[in-house]
Chains A and B, each alone.
Chain A
């Protein structure tokens, strides 16, 4: 192979690699900040990368020049000298000055990112293998993130998969973990934050425009680490108010005699052992409502982390199974993701309709969850976890049972 060909292939491969960084539709792009905190990091990384790039190119160029110009041609070894104080001081001073200038910009940025004084909304975040739980506490003034419920009384909202926040609001995420170390990262909104069991970590988020911002766990946390994703959904204030009111709406049971009602009974029997649906009651075929029993999940008895996603209003979210799969079909998903900020709230709050439900993935999940997402779910290999599962086990549901569950779940919004 000629030198020219090798050179051309090398340059071509380099350009291909370089152009991979130019994708403007990449959802997890730190170069497309969408909030104050990410912008602050972006403003810092540009000059740092530029300076480092110039220094890197200069050093490499000088190195290549020296290697070629002074390569061994059998000439005598030149006179060896030792010590050039002026040169040494200069070569020490230049990097020191560069580092000092960078530190001058970096330190205030780090301090600003750690501030919590101006928090307007707090969301508690809990990581576990392999999904994130969000709960919204009620503030002293009876509001959630500064929004008072329109009709219902304020009570903590608990959800998973998608973190819903109001736009233009300084949100403080208080994170902890139920099992191992995870890391929360939504690149367009802020940097990473490790989430360590037994500790509480803070991360500021703020989105300027309505939309969905994708992220994923960035601390290796076990078998399905790569499937532990998260999405932040930013809604305009009015839309956030609608979302909040909807979340606080009381549970509505399916009409008797419907497929959804049968699905509810099946859910109580098969799913409610781990998954909570707020307000769900088991009427046990009694006529007297006084005999109804509130269905309370006990995931701590079956799941190693002690928790499974709360499925109240599942169909208001666009994702399931740790935000790994969409609840929307590709077309409907694109419609929501590509909506303009003005249209986004309306489209998102519509939730998952029957026409838009991604039945394929949801059915596969219900059919055999561990086959779809690697999890420690083999009952014969759970000695180390005291017989408890990490993730959802295989439930041996028939196709008819899956139909019933879908009929029930589609109305959970």
Chain B
């Protein structure tokens, strides 16, 4: 009769020999074949020695004792982990031809099921005492199982809640729904603390039903899809559409009228009360003939509106003569006394731009400020 160790070594020798033959036939390289043949020879040698010494286990020669050993006993129950591992392996294969996500999920299932299977198989034969074996298994597996299962459970609940919140017909509906849910949690919690005679089974049932309800709601809303969310226009979008004009656009609604970056800006441009464009270059107390900004770098310019109307600052950063070639950018409408920032970058020097560069305020003809880009 072959001992356990011998079976392992015989199997390894056969696999190495088959691999050597397969590699030698299909591959041109001799190095791999030599390596595999060497491995099979070495394994055959070890197998021979191991068979001779009977796994170095004196009791292995005692047939009766071997039959009575814990390892020889039938497991207490059938295991589901091989099934789970098989499912994981199938998912890996399925994912390869469909979606990579299924492969990743399959790998996780395969690894988890294999680990559980190994621990279970080992623990069931740890001793002849089944109670001890169960305790050993829990001591090994639970420090891993509990946090992982807890994290998965929390993630499922959070994801379900998020699906419900995104699926409710309106933002205020989501707020109301979860105020009600929170109130229910509070009421149930209060009742539980007041009625101390409530059994653990009842509490567990309540919690289970709640979790099931959340998950079912999440699944239902998830399948139904998210409610339509309105995307607010930006100044970049209106600039792209050529709407950097004097009229109010959606991008101008509820825009901020203050800027936190008050220092380290390239210049501050002000639309004065008499609707002229004035500028201030920090550190340049004497003033400059023209506003000079460097090329090929981001220049942060503050726009301050001191006029009575809502105005925006605009510039064509291409300095182009024809409309299709223009690259106009602008701020949102700035209220009286408000400030906004505009980041401007010029690719070419001013003399290379057909129309040069100039800041303008749409709707105010006299508000023009040339920019020198050397």
Contact = CB atoms under 8 A, between A and B. Distances in A.
Interface of A: 116-117, 119, 122, 124, 126, 133, 135, 137-142, 154-158, 172, 174, 176-178, 197-202, 276, 294, 296, 298-300, 305-307
7 contacts: A119-B283, A126-B297, A137-B281, A138-B290, A156-B292, A200-B264, A294-B352
Contacts of A178: 296-297
Contacts of B265: 200
A124 B266 CA distance: 10
Contact of A307 (B286, B292, B295): B295
A138 B265 CA distance: 19
Nearest to B298: A198
Contacts, number: 101
The bracket for how many chain B residues form the interface is 20 to 34
Nearest to A204: B283
Contacts of B290: 137-138
Contact of B284 (A122, A177, A201): A122
Interface string B274-310: 0000000111111111101011111110000000000
B286 A141 contact: yes
B292 A137 contact: yes
A296 B296 contact: no
A120 B351 CA distance: 27
A119 B372 contact: no
A156 B296 contact: no
A117 B292 contact: no
A200 B282 contact: yes
A296 B349 contact: yes
Nearest to A199: B264
B111 to A, nearest CB: 35
Interface of B, helix, strand, loop or mixed by DSSP? loop
Contacts of B288: 122, 137-140
Contact of A202 (B283, B286, B292): B283
Contacts of A296: 348-349, 351-352
B225 interface: no
A39 to B, nearest CB: 21
B333 to A, nearest CB: 24
Nearest to B295: A307
B347 interface: yes
Contacts of B295: 306-307
A122 B280 CA distance: 14
Interface in B91-133: none
Contact of A201 (B264, B297, B298): B264
B205 interface: no
Contacts of A200: 264-266, 282-283, 300
B153 interface: no
Contact of A294 (B287, B347, B351, B372): B351
Interface in B336-370: 343, 347-349, 351-352
